[in-house]
């Protein structure tokens, strides 16, 4: 065989090896891509199933819940005769002395100081009863603190823990790429802070806050002006008045600190509202006053690195005409 033929044979073998490597790489890529798609579909299905399960619990009628809890038996067996119980020993009666009140605890006498004119009395807030709609949800997950309904794109429970856990865990406590909606760890549940923050992932499949950015469109806002947010203790309707993209990088000119939860001074609140309106893609002609309750919905934005899309809403006040508010929303103007 001539050198020329040997060279051709070597070149052909080299091309064959390269082709084999390329085919192997493509096959590996297809396998990895298929595995990723299958994983994403499973995660999406899990998130959907969890949402549906909680919706069934939350929207179950009180009558259905009562029938579920009630015993289906029409006749009851006789109750056993209760066993006699020991009569508890009476607690020692506190004795008041000039220096204080003497009480006996575990055989020890303790003197408690008596309040006088200089004593500061602090009244602790009393929590109202938990709304019955949340009782079956709390039985599944004690972290549940509310429910968020936004037109036909969001209808999910809201949890509260630290600000990391529900980024990567579902409501069942298992790891889940879409996580769950959650309230800021520093927000009070009752009474609500001046600005309540709810976070959620911007999922490509539209779950969680995956479709929240529709509110960047003024037309969508006009057609879907009501956000419903219920907590364990109260229910409210909110109207969006600011929508914008922001950066979470402090050195970026698009940076905005949305995590302002309470406002001790009216001036600081007014400045916050002014900054929100200046950043918003549109102007909604509804007034926002000091003392109004705000609800800020925060999700990732793919328009910039470490970006966020933020929708800020104002609660409809008690006694305020809902119809008047909705009419004003129809006059929303786009910022040029």
Residue 170 and residue 50 in contact, taking contact as beta carbons nearer than 8 Å: yes
CA distances from 29 to 33, 35, 68, 146 (A): 6, 10, 51, 43
Backbone phi and psi for residue 281, each to the nearest 5 degrees, phi listed first: -75, -15
The residue from 169, 245, 300, 313 that is catalytic is 300
Q: 148-163 b/e with 16+ CB inside 10 Å = b?
A: bbbbebbbbbbbbbee
* 245 catalytic residue (yes or no): no
Q: How wide is the angle at C-alpha 168 spanned by C-alphas 230 and 57, nearest 5°?
A: 35
Report how far apart, in Å, the C-alpha atoms of 103 and of each of 151, 227, 236 are: 59, 54, 47
Q: Alpha-carbon distance 172 to 165, whole Å?
A: 12
Residue 204 annotated among the catalytic residues of the structure: no
Residue found by looking up tokens 């009562």 in the block:
66
Token pair 């709609």: residue: 133
Rounded CA separation 145/157 (Å): 8
Which of 201, 245, 313, 335 does the annotation list as catalytic? 201
Residues marked active site are found at 201, 300
């Amino acid at each position: 065989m001539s050198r020329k033929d040997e060279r051709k044979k070597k070149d052909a073998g080299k091309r064959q090896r390269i082709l084999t490597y390329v085919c192997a790489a493509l096959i590996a890529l297809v396998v990895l891509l298929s595995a990723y798609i299958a994983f994403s579909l499973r995660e999406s299905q899990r998130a959907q199933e969890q949402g549906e399960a909680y919706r069934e619990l939350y929207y179950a009628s009180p009558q259905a819940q009562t029938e579920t809890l009630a015993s289906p038996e029409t006749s009851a067996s006789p109750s056993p005769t209760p066993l006699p119980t020991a009569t508890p020993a009476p607690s020692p009666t506190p004795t008041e002395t000039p220096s204080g009140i003497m009480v006996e605890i575990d055989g020890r006498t303790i003197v408690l100081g008596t309040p006088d004119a200089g004593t500061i009395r602090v009244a602790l807030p009393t929590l109202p009863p938990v709304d019955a709609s949340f009782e079956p949800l709390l039985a599944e997950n004690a972290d549940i603190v509310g429910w968020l309904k936004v037109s036909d794109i969001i209808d999910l429970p809201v949890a509260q823990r630290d600000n990391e856990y529900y980024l990567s865990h579902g409501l069942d406590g298992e790891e889940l790429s879409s996580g769950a909606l959650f309230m800021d760890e520093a927000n009070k549940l009752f009474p609500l802070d001046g600005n309540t923050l709810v976070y959620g992932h911007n999922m490509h499949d539209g779950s969680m806050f995956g479709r929240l950015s529709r509110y960047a469109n003024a037309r969508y806002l006009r057609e879907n002006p009501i956000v419903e947010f219920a907590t364990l203790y109260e229910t409210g309707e909110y109207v969006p008045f600011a929508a914008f993209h922001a950066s979470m990088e402090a050195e970026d000119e698009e940076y905005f600190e949305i995590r302002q939860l309470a406002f001790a001074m009216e001036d600081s609140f007014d400045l916050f509202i002014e900054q929100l309106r200046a950043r918003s893609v549109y102007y909604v002609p509804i007034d926002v006053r000091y003392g109004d309750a705000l609800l800020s919905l925060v999700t990732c934005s793919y328009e910039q690195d470490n970006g966020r899309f933020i929708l800020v809403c104002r609660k409809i006040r008690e006694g305020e005409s809902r119809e008047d508010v909705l009419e004003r929303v129809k006059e929303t103007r786009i910022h040029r």
